[in-house]
Chains A and B, each alone.
Chain A
Amino acid sequence: MSDSAFGLGRTELHDLYRALCVTRAAEERLELLQKQGHVTGGVYRCLGQEAGAVGAAFALRRRTDGTGDMLCHTIRAAGALFLFGGELIDYFRQYMAKGTGPTRGREANVHWFDFDKGFVGPVSPLGTMIEIMAGMTLSFRLRGEERIGMVFYGDGASSTGAWHEGLNFAAVQRCPMILMVENNQWAFSTPTSKNTRVSSFTEKGPGYGIGAESVDGTDVLAVFDAVRRAANLVRSGEGTRMVELKYFRRRGHAQHDPQDYVDPAEIRKWEKKDPLDLYRARLLEKEWASEAELVAIEQDAFDSCRVAAEEAIGEPYPDGPDAVTDVYTDVSTPHPWTRADSPDPTLA
């Protein structure tokens, strides 16, 4: 557990705690919404992994005018999305498939985009976003911009061809990109040992000719420190790097998965390494925050999630006929002529 504040001031230390609490509160709210029948599709928790996404994203340059660093998050890195300015209400709208959400009901959960704020949500096929981030950061290098990119993927995704091809391309082209490996020891029901023979992803770094480091993913300050160092190197022209987050997926793959293939003792062991509990204790012990300040942050996280969720619940779903728009920028897609309510009832 890190003793130093790594040069962070009180406000920043509190901001880190706030981001952890918001992530936790948002997912707990989501579970409640799902039980109430408001959620379309699955709920994928990052319980126990919050510090990895939060610590990493905190080390990047976050702007709102399209000049900052870029992020490709995953469903287990919602904390990074929030730090990059992803709004809670949009998060709930997405999970509820509302027409008011950023993808207007076309896409699910954290799969959304804001190029000004600097985040590009993933597609489901694993590995793809490494290729995409390689290209985004290639453009930074080609244009001489001081920006870098960060792409998250789980341990399992490392088996895909796209992961390898994208990372190799980035390494060769010295793309200013950090790959965050979320090693939570499981890929759905498959243990990491069945996705790779290496015991740490840092062993893969040399195979690509890139620097790699492993960090305790439950320690938000340690993650912040490791990623800030990596970011400095990447930004100063070293090219691509990898940072492995070591932690544990404490819930099933999604809510439908009872995780009965995991040894319960192992889950209990990791409960003792809860990133929020650990950081909270550290903040108090080092007198970086008072109990009252922490309670206020926790209450605020809870309240903002409740308010955002309630607002989203009241909003409308998309209109069916909106399904035909935006397939192209310039070519329109016909409505089904066979629909009684078709706006375009010609034989198409």
Chain B
Amino acid sequence: MDREIPEHLLKTKNGEPVTMLEAISEALFEEMTRDDSVFLLGEDIGVYGGAFKVTRDFLTHFGENRVIDTPIAEGGFTGAAAGAAHMGLRPVVEIQFMDFISPAYDVITNYIATSNYRGAGPMPLVIRGPVGGGNRGGPFHSQNVEMAFFHTPGLKIVYPSTAKDAKGLLKASIRDENPVIFEEHKGLYRAPALREVLPDDDYVIPLGKARTVREGTDLTIVTYGAMVHKSVEAAETLESEDGVSVEIIDLRTLLPLDEDAIVESVKKTNKLLVVHEDTRTGGIAGEIAIRVSEKAFEWLDGPILRVTAIDAPVPYSGSLEDYFLPQTGDVVNAARYLAAY
């Protein structure tokens, strides 16, 4: 289709700053423009433009063969996306809230993740959607879903923390030959502080590579998603109030995990704190701790600690949810304990 590009998708081209949500829209729009085989499936993504408006105006631009409003059937349309991927298309599935990915768990873990290994061929498929707490969404509109899939070989899991990363990582995910679960934190979507002017070229950020957000010498915080920003806040407090120098690694991709980046930083600072918004038991901190134990035990000068959500369903009421979620103050307290160790 040869139509004018909607204004709100031209911000980067016009040198204007974008939110993380706009960066994601741009990535989808540019990939669909670049490659005819990329198409979208999801609930209310067409006329409505998606529950969070990520695909606003895509329907009028690309037409209903490439922006497909699905029945409410996450298992069904994710499976159908896999079939389309077999036939050479590159589907991007939107799950309205990632909490509702669970009906698709079977097809993702048993079929999609095993496809290449079984000889059924690569599976260029992205499953993306909003995650995370802090919005008073209650138990079914707030979850982080990474660890439900982290244990499944064959999947990649991406969780960006900035507008720039979101765009570059989503493009890389769409171009990847493997299935990617792409988590977008609702609290970051429109966060004013995350607005930035993006490079106006067709940049891609490779999957599997962490980013050093901040260099430091006294301890390392490994984190991702919304917790990157709380960790940075905490690091600034520690620097100004305690003179503690904190290095922060943003994982960006959880699977595969950038073990080298973690180990290298720990060898430099000798102390490690892992911070994640997901719940505690079976959270990624456990995997990171064992890898550091395997690869850098002799460099450690203190226990590996973690700051996480508590092991409970995500509660609805504000006071409960704030208590449930890891806060900047928790990061400060844990880092202080570790720095003094």
Interface residues of A (CB under 8 A from B): 40-41, 97-99, 103, 105-108, 111, 123-126, 156-157, 159-162, 187-190, 194-196, 261, 317-324, 327, 333-336, 338-340, 347
Contact = CB atoms under 8 A, between A and B. Distances in A.
A44 to B, nearest CB: 13
B75 A41 contact: no
A111 B321 CA distance: 17
Main DSSP-derived SS at the A contact region: loop
A97 B319 CA distance: 9
A189 B47 contact: yes
Contacts of A40: 136, 316-318
Contact of A320 (B70, B136, B323): B323
B16 to A, nearest CB: 26
Interface residues of B, number: 47
A198 to B, nearest CB: 12
A190 B318 contact: no
B73 A340 contact: no
B313 A106 contact: yes
A196 B337 CA distance: 58
Nearest to B334: A338
Interface in B290-341: 305, 307, 310-313, 315-324, 326, 329-331, 333-334, 337
B43 interface: yes
Contacts of B74: 160
B2 to A, nearest CB: 25
A190 B43 contact: yes
Contacts, number: 140
Interface string B112-148: 0000000000000000000000001111110000000
A160 B70 CA distance: 11
Interface string B38-76: 000001101110010000000000000000011111111
Given A99-B317, A105-B320, A333-B312, 12 more contacts: A97-B316, A107-B138, A124-B99, A161-B75, A187-B72, A188-B48, A189-B46, A190-B44, A195-B71, A320-B322, A334-B311, A339-B330
Interface in B72-96: 72-76
B102 interface: yes
B76 A125 contact: no
A318 B317 contact: yes
B103 interface: yes
B73 A161 contact: yes
Nearest to B97: A124
B100 interface: yes
A98 B72 contact: no
A324 B319 contact: no
A329 to B, nearest CB: 14
Nearest to A105: B317
Sorted from nearest, which 5 A-B pairs have the closest CB atoms? A105-B317, A320-B323, A159-B71, A124-B140, A189-B48
Nearest to B104: A161
Given A40-B136, A320-B322, A98 B44 contact: no
A168 B133 CA distance: 35
B330 A317 contact: no
A118 to B, nearest CB: 23
A162 B103 contact: yes
Given A159-B76, A161-B103, A336-B330, A97 B310 contact: no
A339 B329 CA distance: 7
11 contacts: A97-B317, A123-B140, A188-B43, A190-B43, A318-B320, A320-B319, A323-B321, A327-B312, A336-B326, A338-B329, A339-B323
B201 to A, nearest CB: 35
A322 B320 contact: yes
Contacts of B310: 323-324, 333-336
Interface centre among A41, A161, A336, by most B CB within 10 Å? Answer: A336
Contact of B316 (A106, A321, A322, A324): A106
A194 B44 CA distance: 10
A333 B308 CA distance: 13
B99 A125 contact: yes
Contact of A317 (B44, B46, B318, B329): B318
